Amino acid sequence: LASKALDCDCQKFLLKPCEGAAPIPIAFTQYRMAVAIKSFAGQKVAGARAARRATLRPRSSVRVAAEAVRPTWFPGNPPPAHLDGSLAGDYGFDPLNLGAEPETLKWMVQAELQNARWAMLGVAGILFTSIGAQAGLGYPQWYEAGKVAQETAPISFGTQLAVLFLLFNWVELKRLADLKNPGSQADGSFFGVTDDFKGVENGYPGGKLFDPFGLSRGTPAQYKKYKQHEIINGRLAMVAFAGFAAQYSATGKGPIENLSDHLASPYTTTFATNGVSVPFIPVA
């Protein structure tokens, strides 16, 4: 009877026999009802899942995109309100809220920038002289350079100090004035020089004297990239100099000497075996 009933096309969709067809058994009718209910329920569940995925996907994309645009030092935690990502090298690091005051933040940005530049110069000089000393070229180690300079310079240390004090005082006062009133130092007060003292912004000099290669006169995107690279490398240099000082305190040697010793015996010459960095480990 079931095979005869299925011969009628309409019986594929209706749960009652077509006209002139053999009656469908009750068991087969119940089976067709169960299949129809299961199919209907499956479509509803699949539709609900698709709708849920469509709702969640944009939120996830927005969150991932935001994290990619603004990396922070502590992922998952919002940065302080005063660090909005507009500063070069801003990763939202200010756990003590030292820069919450706008004027204080402005001062600290310039202080970090200047110290970063001095650190890059200092670290480059330390590595250069250390390599020369290690190669036997007669260069002093960085911790002896000041003493050697005093002993061999034709000008006394007191005279050098006085000249440096006067020159640095003049430069730093002009920088402070420019910090308080941006652009005010391009007024021609120094032998009529104007544009060559005019900076792009606080802390970033321009003109032919302080930017001879025109790095600050490129596209805004390139200029922003240069600022980011400078402060990142400057922070690395500050950490490196602190490491050089710690190395000398622990071993009495320079960074290249320490590196050579470590490469000669990498398993027995480390920070843990100098007797100072990890004091509770006995030195053999």
Q: Of 124, 119, 152, which is closest to residue 138 (Cα–Cα)?
A: 152
Q: Which of 167, 166, 207 is nearest to 185 (CA)?
A: 207
Whole-angstrom distance, CA of residue 274 vs CA of residue 110: 37
pLDDT of residue 229: 95
**Residues 193, 147: Cα–Cα separation, whole Å:** 38
pLDDT at 39: 61
**pTM reported for the whole predicted model:** 0.70
Q: How far apart are CA 205 and CA 207, in angstroms?
A: 7
- In this structure, are residues 142 and 131 in contact, taking their beta carbons and an 8 Å threshold? no
pLDDT for the residue numbered 275: 80
The stretches of 70-204 forming alpha helices (DSSP H) are: 102-134, 145-152, 157-180
Q: Are 126 and 247 in contact (CB under 8 A)?
A: no
Cα dihedral 209, 210, 212, 215 in deg (nearest 10): -150
For residue 26, count other CB atoms closer than 10 A to its CB: 8
Q: Is 18 exposed, middle or buried (0-12, 13-18, 19+ CB in 10 A)?
A: middle
Q: How distant, in Å, are the alpha carbons of 133, 257, 267, 277 from that of 252? A: 15, 10, 20, 13
- Sign, CA dihedral 100-104-110-114, equals negative
Backbone angles phi, psi at 252, to 5 degrees: 75, 20
Q: What is the pLDDT of residue 27?
A: 56
| pLDDT tens-digit profile, the chain (284 residues) | 444 444 444 444 444 555 555 555 555 555 555 655 656 556 655 666 666 665 555 444 444 444 456 788 888 888 999 999 999 999 999 999 999 999 999 999 999 999 999 999 999 999 999 999 988 898 999 999 888 888 888 988 889 899 999 999 988 888 888 888 877 776 666 676 666 767 788 888 777 777 888 888 888 899 999 999 999 999 999 999 999 999 999 999 999 999 999 999 998 888 888 888 877 766 65
Angle of CA points 197, 101, 116, to nearest 5°: 45
CB 231, CB 120: distance < 8 Å: no
Amino acid at residue number 12: K
CB 91 within 8 A of CB 73: yes
How many angstroms separate the CA atoms of 247 and 123, rounded? 14
What pLDDT is recorded for position 33? 59
- What confidence score (pLDDT) does residue 166 get? 95
Number of residues that this document lists for the chain: 284
Q: How far is CA 21 from the centre of its chain?
A: 79
CB 116 within 8 A of CB 242: no
Three-state secondary-structure class, residue 279: coil
* pLDDT score recorded for residue 5: 44
- Contact yes or no for 238/119 (Cβ under 8 A): yes
- pLDDT score recorded for residue 4: 45
